[in-house]
A = this chain, B = another copy of it.
């Protein structure tokens, strides 16, 4: 009887179709979140999502989303590391596994917050990059 190798192999980078950053704020940090949003718009080619003062999706705090292409990751993520201030930021890939992407596959800048996984499917189509809505004029 033949045997088949079942040694675990790592996920490939090309599983990632795009990224989202979620910028969380509260009453105390709201003005910092506004400033950060403008700084991002001035510096990066991204898709800025709506401002959510209420809770939406799996998120347990008010936030806005920044959707971006794989090519933007090496500028935006290090820049957020230096400039998030008191804000918590979730950065997650978009593969075909939304639940894992928001939990096991995610990174956090600033203190991690909860994610309500019961809102997220285990599998879906991967989200391709969206049409950017920023026109940056300042070098990051």
Give the distance in Å from the alpha carbon of A110 to the alpha carbon of B112 in the complex: 10
Closest Cβ of chain B to A24, distance in Å, is: 15
Give the distance in Å from the alpha carbon of A74 to the alpha carbon of B11 in the complex: 15
Q: Report yes or no: A82 in contact with B93, Cβ–Cβ below 8 A.
A: yes
Contact of A140 (CB < 8 Å), options: B13, B39, B73: B13
Q: Report yes or no: A105 in contact with B93, Cβ–Cβ below 8 A.
A: no
Q: Report yes or no: B108 in contact with A112, Cβ–Cβ below 8 A.
A: yes
**What residues of chain B lie closer than 8 Å to A79, measured between beta carbons?**
10-11, 13
Q: Is A16 an interface residue (CB 8 A)?
A: yes
Interface centre among A93, A95, A109 (most CB of B within 10 A): A109
Closest Cβ of chain B to A69, distance in Å, is: 11
